[in-house]
């Protein structure tokens, strides 16, 4: 088997065009023959009709190529053809084999280049014209060169120039394969392609690979569960060199390749570890036989049952010495149906969190979250980390988290001055300062107890109730009014502020003379 060298810019251009196209592409390879090496230096293509498994060079394109070659506008000879596969990997379909056989009737050196548009892998093929079997050129016989001077390695040239020593009878060597002239090979290619047109409409149609004896039988996996292993099984026929699984989790960017093992001839399996089952799995299988032929399955998606907590944004207000509750709704995806345990971390002193039920049983997606604040809880807002955990039978727990903002709310009462002295029939004035913390929204009522007989009080507002519209400070004037009937003496008065179930008391002194 001869060698193939391809100039790197040409190789990269074909691969990139294949990967950028949603459907198949097709074109011709241009180059020359040096000793026993086909050197690919350029490509030529044009308008073609294409679908996912179909590529068609139009008659106008073939006519233009012929004109360019005959008139010297194209450098080099036609040394082969290239096309891409969107599915199935690197192989020649029945139609490809027939096209290649037509070309090789005139030159055994004509080469078919196939590109896997999914991963950019390339393969170079010829056909055994006696048996019709495809022959992949071994990787050691293929080289991608950058410097034109290195298109043919020196050792190949020296080997080709080597002659027998004078002490050995020199016999005529068999003629080395050579390429026909440019007009001749142009005619060969165009006749072969025209024959393909007449027989197949120049349709390079490929379904599943038709590599003799090499086939994959696989029942796609229909579902999995987050964090739990997923076993992939297949039956592969042929003289197998390797069977590989390619997979990735949706949301990532590249496939992980791993070898599948076989404990029974022809049966292969691999279990994706539960730690890698972090979302829906996309996968395909590829088999390679001892001759280098490849087949692969279509890509499959495994829907993975999963769960989630609501996104951050939950805010709860809890009054000191009180509690508040909210419904926590879990999100179940792809039929998730397992018990989930809930917990909370980051609670400050005096604050407790309880979930009911806990764990959340299978088939249930809701729990009640109750936050309670004791008398020692400090006013203010803090972040609470809410965690939901599912523990599969094999593997570590799967944890989902969200953040809740908890506000401990209260109000504060201050009075100034703490004592007043008035004459009988006079009025004592005090200043009350009511400070409302964030999250407190209930009305606050102020009352005064312990007044002497014949005395009354009033707040310089529209009553004894301050309607609180939110956090802030409110200043009220408290007036203690006495009448001539009030007896002189020292009185301890209790000022009480009540709101939202909270009660604050302060004692002030009133002296009447």
Per the DSSP assignment, residues forming a β-bridge with 219 are: none
pLDDT of residue 154: 65
Per the DSSP assignment, residues forming a β-bridge with 78 are: 30
Pick the closest to residue 70 from 78, 80, 60 (CA basis): 78
C-alpha–C-alpha distance, residues 386 and 346, integer Å? 9
pTM of the entire structure?
Answer: 0.53
- Number of residues that this document lists for the chain: 513
CB 365 within 8 A of CB 336: no
Please report where in the chains the tokens 């709704």 appear, as a residue: 329
C-alpha–C-alpha distance, residues 223 and 277, integer Å? 11
CB 111 within 8 A of CB 142: no
DSSP label at residue 254: S
Please report where in the chains the tokens 């179909």 appear, as a residue: 54
C-alpha–C-alpha distance, residues 427 and 74, integer Å? 113
CB 436 within 8 A of CB 455: no
- How many Cα atoms are found within 13 Å in the side-chain-facing hemisphere of 312? 9
CB 373 within 8 A of CB 365: no
Measured CA distances, 128 to 100, 109, 133, 139 (Å): 10, 12, 5, 18
C-alpha–C-alpha distance, residues 430 and 447, integer Å? 13
Q: One digit per residue, pLDDT tens: the chain, 513 residues?
A: 588 999 999 999 999 999 988 889 999 999 888 877 899 999 998 888 887 777 878 777 777 887 777 777 777 888 999 999 988 889 998 888 888 988 887 678 899 999 999 999 999 999 998 888 999 999 999 999 998 888 887 666 665 554 444 433 333 444 555 555 555 555 455 545 544 433 333 333 333 344 457 899 999 999 999 999 999 999 999 889 999 999 999 988 789 999 999 999 999 999 999 999 999 999 999 999 988 889 999 999 999 999 999 877 788 999 988 999 999 989 999 999 999 999 999 999 999 999 999 999 988 889 999 999 998 998 888 999 999 999 998 878 999 999 999 999 999 999 999 999 999 999 999 999 988 888 888 888 899 999 999 999 998 875 445 555 567 888 889 999 999 999 999 999 999 999 888 999 999 999 999
Pick the closest to residue 114 from 29, 186, 221, 184 (CA basis): 29
Classify strands 224-225 and 304-308 as parallel, antiparallel or unpaired: parallel
Pick the closest to residue 327 from 385, 386, 384, 368 (CA basis): 368
Beta-strand runs (E) in 137-280 = 142-145, 215-217, 224-225, 230-237, 240-249, 256-259, 261-264, 267-272
CB 309 within 8 A of CB 327: no
pLDDT of residue 413: 92
Helix %, strand %, coil % of the chain (to 5): 15, 50, 40
C-alpha–C-alpha distance, residues 387 and 416, integer Å? 47
Domains in the chain and their CATH numbers? 3-200 (3.40.140.10), 215-302 (2.60.40.10), 307-409 (2.60.40.10), 411-512 (2.60.40.2310)
Helix (H, G, I), strand (E, B) or coil at 33: strand
Helix (H, G, I), strand (E, B) or coil at 182: helix
Q: How many CB atoms lie within 10 A of CB 407?
A: 21
């Amino acid at each position: 088997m001869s060698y193939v060298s391809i100039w790197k810019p040409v190789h990269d251009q074909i691969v990139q065009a294949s990967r950028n196209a949603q459907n198949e592409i097709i074109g011709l390879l241009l180059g020359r023959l040096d000793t026993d090496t086909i050197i690919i230096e350029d490509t030529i293509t044009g308008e073609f009709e294409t679908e996912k498994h179909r590529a068609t060079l139009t008659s106008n394109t073939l006519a233009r190529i012929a004109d360019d070659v005959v008139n010297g506008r194209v450098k080099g000879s036609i040394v082969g053809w290239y096309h891409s596969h969107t599915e199935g990997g690197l192989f020649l379909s029945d139609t490809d084999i027939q096209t290649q056989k037509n070309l090789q009737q005139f030159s055994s050196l004509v080469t078919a280049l196939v590109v896997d548009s999914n991963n950019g892998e390339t393969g170079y093929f010829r056909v055994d014209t006696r048996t019709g079997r495809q022959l992949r050129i071994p990787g050691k016989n293929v080289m991608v060169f950058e410097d034109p001077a290195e298109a043919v390695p020196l050792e190949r040239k020296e080997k080709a120039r080597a002659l027998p020593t004078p002490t050995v009878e020199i016999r005529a060597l068999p003629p080395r394969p050579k390429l026909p002239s440019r007009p001749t090979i142009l005619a060969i290619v165009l006749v072969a392609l025209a024959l393909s047109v007449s027989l197949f409409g120049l349709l390079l149609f490929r379904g599943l690979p038709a590599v003799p004896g090499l086939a994959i039988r696989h029942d796609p996996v229909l579902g999995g569960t987050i964090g739990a292993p997923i076993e992939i099984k297949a039956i592969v026929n042929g003289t197998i060199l390797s069977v590989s699984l390619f997979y990735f989790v949706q949301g990532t960017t590249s496939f992980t390749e791993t070898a599948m093992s076989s404990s029974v001839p022809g049966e292969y399996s691999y279990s994706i570890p539960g730690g890698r089952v972090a979302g829906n799995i996309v996968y395909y299988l590829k088999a390679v036989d001892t001759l280098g032929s490849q087949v692969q399955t279509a890509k499959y998606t495994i829907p993975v049952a999963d769960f989630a907590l609501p996104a951050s944004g939950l805010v709860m207000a809890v009054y000191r010495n009180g509690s508040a509750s909210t419904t926590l709704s879990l999100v179940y995806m792809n039929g998730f149906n397992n018990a989930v345990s809930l917990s909370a971390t980051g609670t400050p002193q005096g604050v407790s969190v309880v979930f009911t039920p806990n764990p959340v049983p299978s088939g249930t997606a809701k729990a009640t979250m109750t936050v309670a604040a004791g008398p020692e809880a400090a006013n203010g807002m803090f972040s609470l980390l809410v965690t939901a955990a599912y523990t599969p039978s094999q593997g570590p727990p799967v944890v989902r988290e969200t953040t809740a903002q908890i506000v401990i709310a209260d109000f504060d009462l201050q009075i100034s001055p703490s004592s007043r002295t008035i004459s009988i029939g006079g009025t004592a004035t005090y200043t009350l300062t009511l400070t409302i913390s964030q999250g407190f929204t209930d009305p606050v009522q102020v009352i005064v107890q312990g007044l002497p007989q014949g005395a009354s009080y009033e707040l310089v507002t529209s009553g004894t109730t301050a309607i609180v519209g939110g956090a802030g400070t409110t200043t009220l004037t408290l007036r203690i009014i006495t009448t001539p009937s009030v007896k002189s003496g020292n009185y301890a008065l209790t000022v009480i502020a009540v709101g939202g179930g909270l009660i604050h008391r302060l004692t002030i002194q009133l002296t009447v003379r």
